[in-house]
Amino acid sequence: MAPVRLRHPKGMATIQIPFDNSEFTVQDLQQEILKATEILPSRQLLKTGYPPRGLDLVPELPLSSLGLKSGDQLIVSEGAESAPRLHSKPASSVVSQQRPSAPTPSSRPSARTTSTLPPPTPPTASSGAPVHIDTDGGVLIHRIVPDDNSCLFSSVALIFEQDMNKAQKMRQTVADGIKKDLETYNEAILGMPPSKYIETILKPSTWGGAIELTILAAHYRTEICSIDVETGRIDQFTPTTDHGGMRCIVIYSGIHYDAATLAPMLEAPFEWHQTMFPITSPDTSDSVLVAGKKLADALRSKKAFTNTSTFDLKCEECGQGLKGEKEARAHAEQTGHTRFGEY
């Protein structure tokens, strides 16, 4: 027996399916869905994959006719009697510690790796609905996380744990990843002794960047793609071993990270959002990355980014005006002041 997760109008459920049983039919699957959702087989609508494809539910055929596999997620909705099928999603993450590769300058997003400076408030698009892009598989949505110092960790927690409040768990995962691979994450790479870096990254006031994305991608066996709003550049953090064949998207505004998730419709509850996507192409021609770049383009058109080398800052402790992150860092080192705001 293997698990298949269901997303349906009343919430979420997990059913156990005997994929190795050749006698298990589509009708048997529908009966299991009925037990979990109370939706009659004749009214069940299913899709799977990205872009989501409709499943032809022929009750008499074996389950293998649907091309499903262990770990798949299905979105189940209810249609008219004998209507064509609808709704399903791909697999969630499989948590496994792997050795991450050392980040290189070419693979780093424009965010700093760590900083004790609190970030200025990130720019946001002004509208009632979140910025989104229509795709063949649904709606790719800009999922905003709190503009605190943990935005990278909150975004990744939303993607892998479906809970942005688990940012501290992501920090701990990074710390554990460094401890387990001190050969890769040495003082030269981290810019400070590993013990000091671990102490720093566990603090809620510390930002994350390329090193953290590299470790988290390896831990969750999932490629993390960081899309820069200002430039449209896509930085791909790909596990070097035991890759799970999935990728996800974070959106970087220059001083802030958010997530991008796919929903069947704009108003769909967050429980229905797909946060990871099968890799159909190793480069940026993958359809979900094309949609992600369009999402960044839409945010850029709304000026939802900050150039960290030129933005104006003010020290909220002494009132001194500063230009860009470089001057803010120098001021913090000279004075010990750590409260800055953008103006």
3-state secondary structure 244-256: CCEEEEEEECCCC
CATH assignment at residue 199: 3.90.70.80
CB 243 within 8 A of CB 221: yes
> In terms of DSSP bridges, do strands 222-228 and 138-143 run parallel, antiparallel, or are they unpaired?
unpaired
Residue range(s) defining the domain that contains residue 333: 312-342
In a domain, 88, yes or no: no
Quote the pLDDT of residue 314: 76
- CB proximity list for 185: less than 8 A, separation 6 or greater: 102, 177, 178, 194, 197, 211, 215
In a domain, 279, yes or no: yes
Quote the pLDDT of residue 333: 74
Q: DSSP secondary structure string, 81-102?
A: TTPPP---B---------PPPP
- Looking at the fold, whether 321 and 273 belong to one and the same domain comes out as no
Determine the 3-state secondary structure of 162 from DSSP: coil
- Looking at the fold, whether 133 and 277 belong to one and the same domain comes out as yes
- Looking at the fold, whether 259 and 278 belong to one and the same domain comes out as yes
CB 5 within 8 A of CB 11: no
In a domain, 86, yes or no: no
Q: DSSP secondary structure string, 213-266?
A: HHHHHHHTTEEEEEEETTT--EEEE--SSS--SEEEEEEE-SS-EEEEEEESST
In a domain, 226, yes or no: yes
Angle at 227 between CA 225 and CA 233, to 5 degrees: 110
- Looking at the fold, whether 206 and 267 belong to one and the same domain comes out as yes
Quote the pLDDT of residue 341: 63
Q: Which residues of the chain have pLDDT under 70?
A: 49-52, 80-128, 307-311, 325, 338-343
- Point out the domain boundary residue: 78, 97, 131: 78
In a domain, 251, yes or no: yes
- Looking at the fold, whether 217 and 111 belong to one and the same domain comes out as yes
> In terms of DSSP bridges, do strands 2-8 and 73-78 run parallel, antiparallel, or are they unpaired?
parallel
How many Å apart are CA 225 and CA 213, to the nearest integer? 9
- Active-site annotation, residues: 148, 151, 256, 337
- Looking at the fold, whether 295 and 333 belong to one and the same domain comes out as no
In a domain, 83, yes or no: no
Distances (CA, A) of 65 to 54, 112, 116, 202, 281: 13, 48, 54, 48, 25
Phi then psi dihedrals of residue 31, to 5 deg: -70, -40
Cis ω before 51 (30° cut-off from 0): yes
Quote the pLDDT of residue 291: 95
> In terms of DSSP bridges, do strands 321-323 and 234-237 run parallel, antiparallel, or are they unpaired?
unpaired
In a domain, 335, yes or no: yes
How many Å apart are CA 293 and CA 227, to the nearest integer? 7
In a domain, 100, yes or no: no
- Looking at the fold, whether 245 and 145 belong to one and the same domain comes out as yes
- Looking at the fold, whether 292 and 321 belong to one and the same domain comes out as no
Q: In the structure encoding, which two tokens stand for residue 285, read together? A: 């021609």
Taking only the tens place, the pLDDT of each residue in 262-301 is: 999 988 888 899 999 999 988 888 999 999 999 999 999 9
How many Å apart are CA 127 and CA 125, to the nearest integer? 6
CATH assignment at residue 33: 3.10.20.90
CB 186 within 8 A of CB 209: no
How many Å apart are CA 254 and CA 308, to the nearest integer? 6
- Looking at the fold, whether 153 and 50 belong to one and the same domain comes out as no
Please tell me the pTM assigned to this model: 0.62
- Looking at the fold, whether 318 and 282 belong to one and the same domain comes out as no
- Looking at the fold, whether 292 and 223 belong to one and the same domain comes out as yes
Q: How many domains does the chain fold into?
A: 3
- Looking at the fold, whether 202 and 319 belong to one and the same domain comes out as no
